[in-house]
Amino acid sequence: MKSFRAFDNSELMFNMSHLTKLECDPNNWHSFLVSWRHLLDNQTGASVLKQNTEILRDLFYNKVKGVPELSRDITDYERMRTDDPRRSYEFLYESMVNAVHRQQTAR
């Protein structure tokens, strides 16, 4: 009976290891975002990871903090107080989505 099965932490670790290994290519952010979303949307254990936005925030921040085109957003993020609700995974993710959009529009 799968519905009564306890969550297996190995599923979460499997997903985390894939997200950790994912590299953000400064020349192809769209590919990074597609791969990031694919990992979150299609792997077992991703729903638990999605519920812990602090882990996602920290992982995502470490992936994108060196992207020059995000420097202003990253500076804003780093200046936010730790209890500021805007200091979030959503802020970082949307900043990256907007940067991808700007990059694609400029081409």
Residue 23 CA to residue 36 CA, distance in Å, equals 10
Does the structure show a pLDDT above 80 at 70? yes
Residue 23 CA to residue 57 CA, distance in Å, equals 16
Does the structure show a pLDDT above 90 at 97? yes
State pLDDT tens for residues 14-49: 567 888 899 988 778 889 999 998 888 776 556 666
pTM of the model: 0.78
Does the structure show a pLDDT above 70 at 71? yes
User: What is the rounded average pLDDT for all residues in the chain?
Assistant: 82
Residue 104 or 107, more confident: 104
- The predicted pLDDT at position 40 comes to 82
